Amino acid sequence: MAQYTRLEVVQQMKESGMVPLFYHEDIKVAKSVLKACYDGGARLMEFTSRGDFAIEIFNQLIKYSIEELPGMILGVGSVTDAAAASQYMLSGANFIVTPVFREDIAIVCNRRKVLWSPGCGSLTEIATAEEMGCEVVKLFPGSTYGPGFVKAIKGPQPWTSIMPTGGVSTDESNLRGWFDAGVTCVGMGSQLISKDILANKSYDELSKNVKDTLALIQTLKG
What are the tens digits of pLDDT across the range 134-172?
A: 999 999 999 999 999 999 999 999 999 999 999 899 999
Whether residue 62 is predicted with pLDDT greater than 90 in this model: the reply is: yes
How many CB atoms within 10 Å of residue 207? 18
Residue 116's nearest CA partner among 178, 161, 51 is 161
Arithmetic mean of pLDDT, 76-101 = 97
Query: How much is the pTM?
Result: 0.96
Adjacent-strand bridge partners of 22:
47
Sequence-distant (6+) residues with CB within 8 A of 48 are 21, 22, 23, 76, 77, 78, 189
Residues in the chain: 222
Tell me the pLDDT band of 222, cut-offs 50, 70 and 90: confident
Sequence-distant (6+) residues with CB within 8 A of 137 are 117, 118, 120, 126, 129, 130, 160, 161, 162, 163
Q: From residue 205, how far is each of 31, 163, 209, 210 by CA, in Å?
A: 16, 25, 6, 9
Adjacent-strand bridge partners of 116:
96
Whole-number average pLDDT of the chain: 97
